Amino acid sequence: MEIRPLLMCFALCVVYATSKPTEKKERIHHDAPLSSREHDDAQGFDYDHDAFLGQKEAKSFDDLTPEESKRRLGVIVEKIDGDSDGFVTEVELKAWIKKAQKKYIYENVDRQWKDFDVNNDGMISWEEYKNVTYAYMSMNDPEPDDGYNYQHMMARDERRFKMADQNGDQIANKEEFTAFLHPEEYDHMKDIVVLETMEDIDKNGDGFIDLNEYIGDMYNHEDEMEEPDWVATEREQFSEFRDKNKDGKMDREETLDWILPSDYDHAEAEAKHLVYESDLNKDGKLSKEEILNKYDLFVGSQATDFGEALVRHDEF
């Protein structure tokens, strides 16, 4: 059975409590790069292949013929065209790229799914999740003396589950459960990520994060030990950049900007690039024919694998 989010939280608490005092805890979430390769179309389209399907998938088409690559790309195009109007827009292409880049997240959810879907109905209810995660603790350690109350953590989990459960039926489909386990990846979950972060750091309960709380969260101070240089740098970061309104503390908006910064959107930039390079009639969207005409930009000749996505949907 997979490690439960709750048990992971306990493990992290132990790690933070026993880690070296000079180690820095990182709370900022950054999007991973679309590819480890340089984006230089003059040298080849490897970056675009990685971006379009993910680096792991892109390696598997190396032995395919151009004809097979085109055929599989045609299947992909139909999947990207969410509204089935016969065209692929920048928005649809961006969504596809983001999904391809999150494949490792979906794989993680798939591994845990069977453990929580107790009745095998293809959905996970809050009751199923709660019973699998907390039943053992409630029976064996109802009032732990280590400061970590399972009832408090269960209430936090339920609050997050309700936020992920967009239709409010207390039952999560695969996408909703993914949002529950990985809230930092979803725009509609940003508020809960900020709230949980502030609850963790705001020790005096005033609803803000002051400088001492900010430093105290990332630096495990020990008496008579000199602060590492990065701590002084973080103090400056707090005063100069984190605390935007200069009131000596961070509110929710400032905390959001800190932990979920509005980075350069690589997926959006790549979607624009693919459309620009393939849109022959310059109508701002791509037909299937336009994409197949530039297939080497998307998947290349003998270079890209649609892999498991094709197998899962039995489309071949």
pLDDT category of residue 216 using cuts at 50, 70 and 90: very high
Q: Identify which of 20, 18, 19, 54 has the alpha carbon closest to the alpha carbon of residue 35.
A: 54
- Kindly report, residue by residue over 133-170, the tens digit of the pLDDT: 998 776 666 565 545 578 889 999 999 999 999 999 99
Condensed to tens digits (0 to 9), the pLDDT of residues 126-137 reads 999 999 999 877
* pLDDT value of position 104: 86
Q: pLDDT band at residue 114, thresholds of 50, 70 and 90? A: very high
Report in angstroms the alpha-carbon separations of 112 from 124, 128, 132, 182, 217: 11, 13, 11, 13, 30
DSSP-based three-state secondary structure for 198:
helix
SS3 (DSSP) at 282: coil
**pLDDT tens-place string over residues 61-90:** 777 888 998 999 999 999 999 999 999 999
Q: How many CB atoms lie within 10 A of CB 241?
A: 11
* Cα–Cα distance measured from residue 181 to residue 164, given in angstroms and rounded to the nearest whole number: 9
CA distance 191 to 302: 43
- Which structure tokens are listed for 122? 């293809």
* Among candidate residues 51, 1, 15, the one with its CA nearest the CA of residue 31: 51
Range with the poorest average pLDDT among 97-111, 142-156, 203-217: 142-156
Give pTM, 2 decimals.
Answer: 0.73
Q: What is the mean pLDDT of the chain?
A: 85
Beta partners for residue 286, in sequence order? 88
CB neighbours (10 Å) of residue 72? 22
pLDDT at 1 over 50: no
pLDDT at 230: 92
* Euclidean distance between CA atoms 37 and 256, whole angstroms: 30
Q: What integer is the mean pLDDT of 266-288?
A: 97
SS3 letters across 239-266: HHHHCCCCCCEECHHHHHHHHCCCCCCH
pLDDT score at 257: 95
